[in-house]
Chain A
Amino acid sequence: MEITFIQGLLIAIWAMIAGLDCWLQAFFIFRPIIVCTITGLILGDLKMGVIAGGLTELAFAGLTPAGGTQPPNTVLCGIMTVVVAYTNNIAPQTAIGLSLPFAMLMQYILLIYYSSFSLFLPTFDRYAEDGNAKAFKRLNLVPMAIVTLSFGIVAFLSAYAAQGPMRTLVNSMPHWLTHGFELAGGILPAVGFAMLLKVMLKARYLPYLLLGFVVASMIPFSNVLPVALVGAVFAMIEFYHSKDEEKTRAKIKELEANNQGGGMNDGI
């Protein structure tokens, strides 16, 4: 199916809203699950948007900007997953892979901004020194406007202008390649989880990782809530345990301090 000019514009507007949210991280409507849903709504296929949202959200579950690395952009990935699936009539899972180049393009644009927005700092410093609140507030709008517009332009070009070449590409892909992309869409969450593990996993937490894995493998349930509760149980036990330990430690310190004081007095 084709994306009309109006739909292209609506997608661009949506990309600007979600993109600004991605920049500020306020409402988290920049996450794929929301981006895909709204994009599906714009294209008149809500259900496909929601399904794509679920799949893409999982693929990005661990790809977080925390810890200093900027992951492929979730807004562009979400939009393009739905757009590619819609225009080429393919499964969203296959489309995730094809949307990644667009997500990486936006990622690199943002990385350039992260570096180049340092250029605004001398002006900020000058306004701060002058106590010029009005100018300082106004200058903050500039980077935000640049980012917002970039999202709109990139999304419009990717979704509307590139649909022809994209279709040619998808149509020329042999079955083993599209099937490979579909498989990759299913394996992709592993990348995110590995990244989470890199930040979070310490030897002392390995038991909990195994616990979650074993419980989820054994309980046939469609989501992770029951396992999250098992995790919460252990978290609570450990919380009270740590609190007690802290109290004991404080007491020991107190006793030690008293003893030392006493010892010194005895000595003298």
Chain B
Amino acid sequence: MESKTDSETKNQRHSIFSKHEISMLGIRSNLVQSSFSYERMHAPGFTWAQLPYWEKIYRDDPKGLSRVMTDNMEFINSSPPLYPILMGLLLSMEEDHVDSQTIKGLKNALFGPMAGIGDAIFWFTIMPIVGGISASIAKSGNVLGPILFFLVYLFLFWTRIPLAHLGYNLGAKAIDIIEDNSKIISHVASILGLTVIGALIASYVKMKLTIKVGAGGAVIDLQRQLLDKIFPNLLPFAFVFLLYWLLKKNINPIWLIIVTFALAIVMSLLGWM
């Protein structure tokens, strides 16, 4: 094994990969789920995505290649759209021949928090907002709805490229940035996400009683003359919280779907809705 002095490693830094190759790392990050299994989640795909880069780094060092491949076959599970940052960062360290235990430790320290940020941003904030808006356009048969949805996600696909460059260029510095900001970002994303979910409940859960009750000669429309007078969309809100309460009791989501259908069919049979 050849050992390198500090100055040598610094001179070498970021010299063997072209800009295009780093961009391709961002694209290749889409492969992380290719061999997903519960046992080690993204590990095989994660290794596959980075493999050509290690082949370049360890061209004359089969032992090094075997070592880095084995290291990366350990369990990893993070947020797919944020993998480019992690991969760029790890690649810059691998290229600098940072101690493998250090790289492994960093990888294991980062993927969990990054999964948290990624889920908060992509699934719980962007998805309800973009899905909600484009679905409301599509509902009337307007093809702009799906087009809007597609374009937004095409953009998000593209963001993997600058994210890979970001991770690669920042190198170890990215770690502090991620750790400093992860809490605030998921906090802020939660605020935005929950506001939107509140709006989605009001706009898109459709529950209206059609039953009319006779009370002393007068006929009362329960929905319009009672529930809507208390607060509009009262039923959808209450029903979501009923389901939420059931979920908190660890009831399987499949049961919630069954409960929903049972309720709807019973309501239809009774003629209440």
Could you give, for residues 221-262 of chain B, a 1 whenever the CB lies within 8 Å of some chain A CB and a 0 otherwise?
000000000011100110111011011100001101100110
Among B28-36, B105-113, B167-175, the stretch that binds chain A is B28-36
Given A190-B260, A194-B244, A234-B191; A50-B142 close (CB under 8 Å): yes
Cβ-defined contact, A191 with B253, below 8 A:
yes
Given A61-B128, A137-B48, A223-B137; A189-B247 close (CB under 8 Å): no
Cβ-defined contact, A114 with B192, below 8 A:
no
Report chain B residues within 8 Å CB of A113. Answer: 37
Question: When the two chains form the complex, which single residue of B31, B36, B124, B157 contacts A117, counting CB atoms closer than 8 Å?
Answer: B36
Cβ-defined contact, B202 with A235, below 8 A:
no
Cβ-defined contact, B240 with A193, below 8 A:
yes
Report chain B residues within 8 Å CB of A210. Answer: 198
* Tally of chain B residues near chain A (CB < 8 A): 107
- In this complex, what residue of A is CB-closest to B243? A194
Question: When the two chains form the complex, which single residue of B138, B190, B194 contacts A53, counting CB atoms closer than 8 Å?
Answer: B138
Q: In the complex, how many angstroms separate the beta carbon of B251 from the nearest chain A beta carbon?
A: 10
Kindly identify, within residues 42 to 70 of chain A, every residue whose CB is under 8 Å from any CB belonging to chain B: 46-48, 50-51, 53-55, 57-58, 61-67, 69
Could you give, for residues 170-202 of chain A, a 1 whenever the CB lies within 8 Å of some chain B CB and a 0 otherwise?
000000110111011011111101111111111
Among A27-35, A160-168, A258-266, the stretch that binds chain B is A27-35
CA distance A212 to B191 in the complex (A): 10
Cβ-defined contact, B194 with A201, below 8 A:
yes
Question: When the two chains form the complex, which single residue of B33, B55, B200, B267 contacts A183, counting CB atoms closer than 8 Å?
Answer: B267
Given A136-B47, A196-B124; A183-B194 close (CB under 8 Å): no
Cβ-defined contact, A140 with B194, below 8 A:
no
Cβ-defined contact, B261 with A33, below 8 A:
no
CA distance A236 to B138 in the complex (A): 30
Report chain A residues within 8 Å CB of B184. Answer: 239, 242-243, 246
Secondary structure dominating the interface of B: helix
Cβ-defined contact, B35 with A120, below 8 A:
yes
Report chain B residues within 8 Å CB of A213. Answer: 198-199, 201-202, 233, 237
Among B11-19, B84-92, B94-102, B203-211, the stretch that binds chain A is B203-211
> Does A209 interact with chain B (Cβ within 8 Å)?
yes
Which size class do A's interface residues fall under?
Answer: 35 or more
> Does B5 interact with chain A (Cβ within 8 Å)?
no
Question: When the two chains form the complex, which single residue of A47, A71, A140, A214 contacts B48, counting CB atoms closer than 8 Å?
Answer: A140
Cβ-defined contact, A121 with B195, below 8 A:
no
Residue of B132, B146, B233 contacting most chain A CB atoms (<10 Å)? B146
Cβ-defined contact, A66 with B123, below 8 A:
yes
> Does A8 interact with chain B (Cβ within 8 Å)?
no
CA distance A27 to B34 in the complex (A): 14
Q: In the complex, how many angstroms separate the beta carbon of B196 from the nearest chain A beta carbon?
A: 5
Secondary structure dominating the interface of A: helix
CA distance A248 to B93 in the complex (A): 34
Cβ-defined contact, B34 with A143, below 8 A:
yes
Cβ-defined contact, B260 with A184, below 8 A:
yes
CA distance A195 to B251 in the complex (A): 11
> Does A105 interact with chain B (Cβ within 8 Å)?
no
> Does A4 interact with chain B (Cβ within 8 Å)?
no
Question: When the two chains form the complex, which single residue of B39, B132, B188 contacts A224, counting CB atoms closer than 8 Å?
Answer: B132
> Does B7 interact with chain A (Cβ within 8 Å)?
no
Cβ-defined contact, A33 with B124, below 8 A:
no
Q: In the complex, how many angstroms separate the beta carbon of B201 from the nearest chain A beta carbon?
A: 5
CA distance A37 to B135 in the complex (A): 11
- In this complex, what residue of A is CB-closest to B184? A242
Which A-B residue pairs are the 9 nearest by beta carbons? A212-B198, A231-B195, A54-B138, A186-B206, A180-B265, A194-B243, A54-B139, A216-B199, A131-B66
13 further A-B pairs in the complex, CB-CB below 8 A; given A124-B44, A133-B65: A50-B138, A58-B132, A62-B197, A113-B37, A114-B38, A117-B36, A129-B66, A133-B69, A136-B47, A193-B240, A194-B246, A223-B136, A235-B188
Binding site for A on B (CB under 8 A): 30-40, 43-45, 47-48, 51-52, 54-55, 62-63, 65-66, 69-70, 72-73, 80, 119-120, 122-124, 127-129, 131-143, 145-146, 149-150, 153-154, 156-157, 184, 187-207, 231-233, 236-237, 239-241, 243-244, 246-248, 253-254, 256-257, 260-261, 263-269, 273
What are 11 sample pairs from A and B whose C-beta atoms fall under 8 A apart?
A24-B32, A58-B204, A64-B127, A142-B35, A143-B36, A183-B267, A190-B243, A191-B260, A194-B244, A223-B203, A242-B187
